[in-house]
Amino acid sequence: MIDTRAPSAMAAADTSGLDQAAVRELSCRKQEPAWLLALRLEAWEQFQRIPMPTQRDELWKRTSLAGLDLRPLAPYRPFGAGVVESPEQLPRELRGVARPRADVGGLLVQRDSTLAFRALAEPLARRGVLWTDLDSAVRLHPELVRARLGQLVPPGDGKFQALNAALWSGGTFVYVPRGVAVELPLQAVCSIGSPDLGLFPRTLAIIEEEAELVLVEEYLSTRGRLGQPLASVVVELFAAPASRVRYVGVQQWGAPVWHVGALRARAQRAATVTFLAAATGGRLTKQFVDVILEGDGSEAEILGLMFGDGHQHFDTYTLQEHLGSRTRSDLNIKVALRDRASSNFTGLVRVNPHATKTDANQENRNLLLSEHAKADSDPKLEILNSDIIRCSHGATVGPVEQEALFYLMSRGLPRDQAEHVLVEGFFDPVLRRVPVESVRKQLWQTVQRKLDA
């Protein structure tokens, strides 16, 4: 039996060290209910039981965690200023991100482990949209959180999923009532400013029947000395019947950050889910992107954009799980690599026995801009019934097409500029799908900087 009693007194200093005492102290800091502390402690026990992934594990066979040391990580550092009322009170590098914009309906800014700024358009609040950090949602809307937290991404899924479940802090919570369309995107920004931080943001999105949502989450870090931070991210997205939801995750961490993400959505009858995962930063990025097409007539789209340079490594595992009949899924992930950067894609389309009339596709395209860059691609199909419309997959790995490069150079473009044009064209179909203009521009500027380096 797990002892859920909180410690009698709080330490004055910030929590440091990854152990059960840190889990208890974190929960006590937040004055959490006993049921949540019990979940955290159960997750901690699973974290201790699950071994660190190695390249002997199927899901990690092309990704090495050599060099990652969890021992010096601090699991919790609050934003010193607390929740501020104006973007001007945020650290300088976040003020531009948080400025009022006409193309965003709501904004959350998390600095290190806690909420720093929150804004939501008044018309959305009047229509019952809930938009806050997950810590606040536990206090204000416990009935919504308790029923779903950890249901899609349980701690038993993996070492880092368990670590997040035990130590999550801050995070994002959004609830869209039945029939409400959130026409402008809601944007959440998560940033690291402290060295050697273990950052564990968690997102819980609940979209009720016939509701609509666009959610954009960015991950940023300062340019100062950060040691070797770890970001373990979990996203759980519940799409009720006939709802429509688009989730965009943009990872632009600084060079030293290790990033492990688990994103999972469940689509019920006639629901439509789109995941767009973009990554240009960090030392190593490992992400799991799963869509469970549970209801008849549900649809899903998974889009990806990655650009690596130096010694960056990106590893993406995707699952298109077809359970209902007449379901459709499509995947299109594009990767460009230069220098000695590397990537791996493993994707599985699983068509279950009762998932008749399935239509599914996978495409992974890898562009190598250096002879030392390396990409692996392993799309898979698991078809367990014979009544399907289509199940297909394709993958390419290769350099810039020489004929296209020669054509542009013959029209007067220098080689570097011609290569830029081809890379822009390569990424454009995915870039155009980023719904917030400022995020889209910043992402493309990062790509251009990498090309010009």
State which of 277, 295, 313 marks the end of a domain.
295
In the prediction, which pLDDT does 283 show?
Answer: 96
Place 415 in a pLDDT band, splitting at 50, 70 and 90: confident
pLDDT at 354 over 50: yes
In the prediction, which pLDDT does 193 show?
Answer: 93
Place 450 in a pLDDT band, splitting at 50, 70 and 90: confident
Tens digits of per-residue pLDDT, 298-324? 999 999 999 999 999 999 999 999 999
Residue 306 domain flag? no
In single-letter form, the type of residue at position 356 comes to: T
Residue 115 domain flag? yes
Token pair in block for residue 266: 């469940």
Range of the domain at 436: 403-453
Q: What is the dihedral of CA 407, 413, 415, 420, to 10 degrees?
A: -90
In the prediction, which pLDDT does 100 show?
Answer: 74
pLDDT at 137 over 80: yes
Closest Cα partner for 238 from 178, 318, 313, 286?
178
The structural domain count of the chain equals: 2
Angle between helices 437-452 and 415-431 (to 10 degrees): 150
Percent of the residues in the chain that have a pLDDT greater than 70, as a whole number: 96
The DSSP code for 387 is -
- DSSP assignments along 126-169, one per residue: HTT-EEE-HHHHHHH-HHHHHHHTTTSS-GGG-HHHHHHHHH--
In the prediction, which pLDDT does 5 show?
Answer: 40
Q: Are residues 291 and 407 in the same domain?
A: no
Helix and strand numbers (H, E) in the chain are 10, 20
Residue 422 domain flag? yes
Q: What is the dihedral of CA 302, 307, 310, 313, to 10 degrees?
A: 0
In the prediction, which pLDDT does 8 show?
Answer: 33
Query: What's the Cα-to-Cα distance from 176 to each of 125, 144, 285, 290, rounded to whole Å?
Result: 10, 12, 30, 22
Residue 317 domain flag? no
**Is the CB of residue 130 less than 8 Å from the CB of residue 169?**
no
Residue 393 domain flag? no
Tens digits of per-residue pLDDT, 165-219? 999 999 999 999 999 999 999 999 999 999 999 999 999 999 999 999 999 999 9
Q: Pick 83 or 222 by higher pLDDT.
A: 83
Residue 106 domain flag? yes
pLDDT at 2 over 60: no
State which of 295, 326, 349 marks the end of a domain.
295
Mean pLDDT, residues 27-46: 98
Query: What's the Cα-to-Cα distance from 134 to each of 31, 149, 157, 205, 310, rounded to whole Å?
Result: 14, 10, 21, 10, 35
Residue found by looking up tokens 């990872």 in the block: 251
Q: Pick 432 or 352 by higher pLDDT.
A: 352
Highest mean pLDDT among 12-16, 79-83, 319-323: 319-323
In the prediction, which pLDDT does 426 show?
Answer: 93
Task: Compute the chain's Rg from CA coordinates.
Answer: 22
Q: Are residues 278 and 425 in the same domain?
A: no
Place 4 in a pLDDT band, splitting at 50, 70 and 90: very low
In single-letter form, the type of residue at position 81 comes to: A
Beta-strand pair 198-199/106-111: unpaired
Average pLDDT in the chain: 93
Place 14 in a pLDDT band, splitting at 50, 70 and 90: very low
- As beta bridge partners, residue 13 has none
CA–centroid distance for 422 within its chain: 27
Place 412 in a pLDDT band, splitting at 50, 70 and 90: confident
pLDDT at 348 over 80: yes
Residue 344 domain flag? no
State which of 273, 295, 317 marks the end of a domain.
295
Token pair in block for residue 30: 């937040």
Mean pLDDT, residues 423-451: 89
Tens digits of per-residue pLDDT, 66-77? 999 999 999 999
Residue 162 domain flag? yes
Mean pLDDT, residues 413-420: 86
Q: Are residues 425 and 280 in the same domain?
A: no
Tens digits of per-residue pLDDT, 357-411? 999 999 999 999 999 999 999 999 999 999 999 999 999 999 988 888 888 888 8
Mean pLDDT, residues 115-130: 97
Mean pLDDT, residues 91-115: 90
pLDDT at 157 over 90: yes
Place 96 in a pLDDT band, splitting at 50, 70 and 90: confident
Q: Are residues 150 and 277 in the same domain?
A: yes
Taking residue 325's Cβ as centre, other Cβ atoms within 10 Å add up to: 17
